[in-house]
Protein backbone atom coordinates (compact mmCIF):
# COMPACT_ATOMS: atom_id res chain seq x y z
CA UNK A 1 0.00 0.00 0.00
CA UNK A 2 1.46 3.29 -1.07
CA UNK A 3 -0.90 5.88 0.37
CA UNK A 4 -4.06 6.37 2.40
CA UNK A 5 -6.27 6.14 -0.67
CA UNK A 6 -5.42 2.41 -0.89
CA UNK A 7 -7.57 1.61 2.16
CA UNK A 8 -11.25 1.15 2.87
CA UNK A 9 -13.31 1.40 6.02
CA UNK A 10 -16.93 0.54 6.58
CA UNK A 11 -18.99 3.67 7.29
CA UNK A 12 -20.89 3.90 10.55
CA UNK A 13 -24.09 3.15 8.58
CA UNK A 14 -22.60 -0.11 7.28
CA UNK A 15 -21.85 1.12 3.74
CA UNK A 16 -18.40 0.81 2.14
CA UNK A 17 -16.22 3.85 2.76
CA UNK A 18 -13.19 3.75 0.48
CA UNK A 19 -10.57 6.33 1.32
CA UNK A 20 -10.53 7.23 -2.38
CA UNK A 21 -13.74 9.10 -1.53
CA UNK A 22 -11.45 11.73 -0.01
CA UNK A 23 -8.78 11.83 -2.73
CA UNK A 24 -7.39 15.36 -3.24
CA UNK A 25 -8.59 16.42 0.22
CA UNK A 26 -6.63 16.52 3.44
CA UNK A 27 -8.16 14.15 6.00
CA UNK A 28 -7.80 14.35 9.77
CA UNK A 29 -8.34 10.76 10.92
CA UNK A 30 -9.24 10.57 14.61
CA UNK A 31 -9.94 7.48 16.71
CA UNK A 32 -12.88 8.46 18.89
CA UNK A 33 -14.82 7.21 21.92
CA UNK A 34 -18.07 8.25 23.57
CA UNK A 35 -17.21 7.58 27.21
CA UNK A 36 -13.76 9.14 27.52
CA UNK A 37 -12.55 12.18 29.39
CA UNK A 38 -11.54 13.53 25.98
CA UNK A 39 -14.98 12.97 24.41
CA UNK A 40 -15.68 16.74 24.50
CA UNK A 41 -13.11 16.98 21.68
CA UNK A 42 -15.98 16.00 19.38
CA UNK A 43 -17.09 19.62 19.71
CA UNK A 44 -13.70 20.91 18.56
CA UNK A 45 -13.53 18.37 15.73
CA UNK A 46 -16.93 19.48 14.47
CA UNK A 47 -15.89 23.16 14.70
CA UNK A 48 -12.66 22.44 12.83
CA UNK A 49 -14.62 20.58 10.16
CA UNK A 50 -17.15 23.40 9.85
CA UNK A 51 -14.37 25.99 9.56
CA UNK A 52 -12.38 24.21 6.85
CA UNK A 53 -14.77 21.86 5.06
CA UNK A 54 -15.55 24.33 2.28
CA UNK A 55 -11.81 24.52 1.60
CA UNK A 56 -11.63 20.73 1.39
CA UNK A 57 -10.84 19.38 4.87
CA UNK A 58 -12.40 16.09 5.86
CA UNK A 59 -12.51 14.95 9.48
CA UNK A 60 -12.95 11.20 9.73
CA UNK A 61 -14.04 9.79 13.09
CA UNK A 62 -12.98 6.20 13.75
CA UNK A 63 -14.73 4.71 16.79
CA UNK A 64 -12.53 2.34 18.77
CA UNK A 65 -13.17 0.37 21.96
CA UNK A 66 -9.53 -0.56 22.69
CA UNK A 67 -8.88 1.97 25.42
CA UNK A 68 -10.56 0.87 28.67
CA UNK A 69 -13.77 -0.05 26.83
CA UNK A 70 -14.73 3.59 26.34
CA UNK A 71 -16.65 2.96 23.10
CA UNK A 72 -18.96 0.07 24.04
CA UNK A 73 -22.00 1.04 21.96
CA UNK A 74 -23.23 -0.19 18.62
CA UNK A 75 -22.64 1.89 15.51
CA UNK A 76 -26.24 3.15 15.70
CA UNK A 77 -25.76 4.18 19.35
CA UNK A 78 -22.45 5.89 18.58
CA UNK A 79 -23.95 7.78 15.65
CA UNK A 80 -26.94 8.94 17.69
CA UNK A 81 -24.70 10.00 20.60
CA UNK A 82 -22.47 12.06 18.31
CA UNK A 83 -25.33 13.76 16.49
CA UNK A 84 -27.37 14.47 19.62
CA UNK A 85 -24.58 15.64 21.91
CA UNK A 86 -22.14 17.30 19.52
CA UNK A 87 -23.97 17.86 16.22
CA UNK A 88 -21.36 15.72 14.46
CA UNK A 89 -21.71 16.09 10.70
CA UNK A 90 -18.32 14.73 9.62
CA UNK A 91 -18.04 11.17 8.29
CA UNK A 92 -17.51 8.31 10.70
CA UNK A 93 -16.51 4.70 10.28
CA UNK A 94 -17.75 1.61 12.03
CA UNK A 95 -15.83 0.49 15.11
CA UNK A 96 -12.32 -0.86 14.46
CA UNK A 97 -9.13 -1.63 16.33
CA UNK A 98 -6.43 0.98 15.85
CA UNK A 99 -3.42 -0.73 17.41
CA UNK A 100 -1.91 -4.17 17.80
CA UNK A 101 -2.15 -7.22 15.58
CA UNK A 102 -5.83 -6.66 14.84
CA UNK A 103 -5.45 -3.01 13.90
CA UNK A 104 -7.23 -1.81 10.79
CA UNK A 105 -4.79 -1.89 7.83
CA UNK A 106 -4.86 1.93 7.57
CA UNK A 107 -3.40 2.19 11.07
CA UNK A 108 -0.77 -0.47 10.37
CA UNK A 109 0.20 1.49 7.26
CA UNK A 110 0.42 4.74 9.25
CA UNK A 111 2.87 3.13 11.69
CA UNK A 112 4.92 1.82 8.75
CA UNK A 113 5.09 5.39 7.41
CA UNK A 114 6.23 7.32 10.47
CA UNK A 115 6.80 4.77 13.21
CA UNK A 116 5.56 4.67 16.76
CA UNK A 117 4.11 8.22 16.88
CA UNK A 118 1.37 7.10 14.45
CA UNK A 119 0.11 4.33 16.74
CA UNK A 120 -2.71 5.63 18.92
CA UNK A 121 -1.91 5.57 22.62
CA UNK A 122 -5.40 6.68 23.63
CA UNK A 123 -8.69 7.94 22.23
CA UNK A 124 -8.61 11.09 20.06
CA UNK A 125 -5.18 10.43 18.52
CA UNK A 126 -5.04 12.42 15.27
CA UNK A 127 -3.42 11.54 11.94
CA UNK A 128 -3.36 14.15 9.18
CA UNK A 129 -3.31 12.79 5.64
CA UNK A 130 -2.38 15.21 2.86
CA UNK A 131 -4.20 15.69 -0.44
CA UNK A 132 -1.78 13.22 -2.01
CA UNK A 133 -2.70 10.46 0.46
CA UNK A 134 0.56 10.65 2.39
CA UNK A 135 0.66 10.90 6.16
CA UNK A 136 1.87 14.43 6.90
CA UNK A 137 1.42 14.91 10.65
CA UNK A 138 0.49 13.19 13.89
CA UNK A 139 -1.07 14.80 16.96
CA UNK A 140 -1.47 13.19 20.36
CA UNK A 141 -4.79 12.64 22.09
CA UNK A 142 -4.50 15.66 24.37
CA UNK A 143 -3.89 18.08 21.50
CA UNK A 144 -7.14 19.98 21.17
CA UNK A 145 -8.61 19.92 17.64
CA UNK A 146 -8.60 23.73 17.60
CA UNK A 147 -4.99 23.98 18.77
CA UNK A 148 -3.02 26.45 16.60
CA UNK A 149 -0.58 23.64 15.69
CA UNK A 150 -3.39 21.55 14.18
CA UNK A 151 -4.97 24.51 12.43
CA UNK A 152 -1.61 25.51 10.93
CA UNK A 153 -1.02 21.94 9.70
CA UNK A 154 -4.52 21.80 8.21
CA UNK A 155 -4.07 25.14 6.47
CA UNK A 156 -0.74 24.00 5.03
CA UNK A 157 -2.34 20.74 3.84
CA UNK A 158 -5.17 22.64 2.14
Q: What CATH number corresponds to the domain at position 129? A: 3.40.30.10
Q: How many domains does the chain have?
A: 1
d(CA 46, CA 1): 30
Determine contact, residues 6/38, Cβ cutoff 8 Å.
Answer: no
Residue 136 domain boundaries: 4-157
Answer whether 47's CB lies under 8 Å from 86's CB: no
Quote the pTM value: 0.97
Question: Given 4, 17, 29, 36, which residue is catalytic?
Answer: 36
Query: Does residue 36 have an active-site annotation?
Result: yes
Q: Where are the beta strands (DSSP E) in the chain?
A: 8-10, 16-18, 27-32, 58-63, 126-129, 135-139
**For every one of its 158 residues, what pLDDT tens digit does the chain have, with 9 covering 90 and above?**
689 999 999 999 999 999 999 999 999 999 999 999 999 999 999 999 999 999 999 999 999 999 999 999 999 999 999 999 999 999 999 999 999 999 999 999 999 999 999 999 999 999 999 999 999 999 999 999 999 999 999 999 99
Phi, psi of 61 (to 5 degrees): -85, 130
Amino acid sequence: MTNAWDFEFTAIDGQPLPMTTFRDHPVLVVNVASKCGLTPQYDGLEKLYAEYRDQGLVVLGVPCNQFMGQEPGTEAEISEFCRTNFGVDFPMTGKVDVKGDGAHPFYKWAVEQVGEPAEPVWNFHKLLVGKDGKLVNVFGPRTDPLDPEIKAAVEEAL
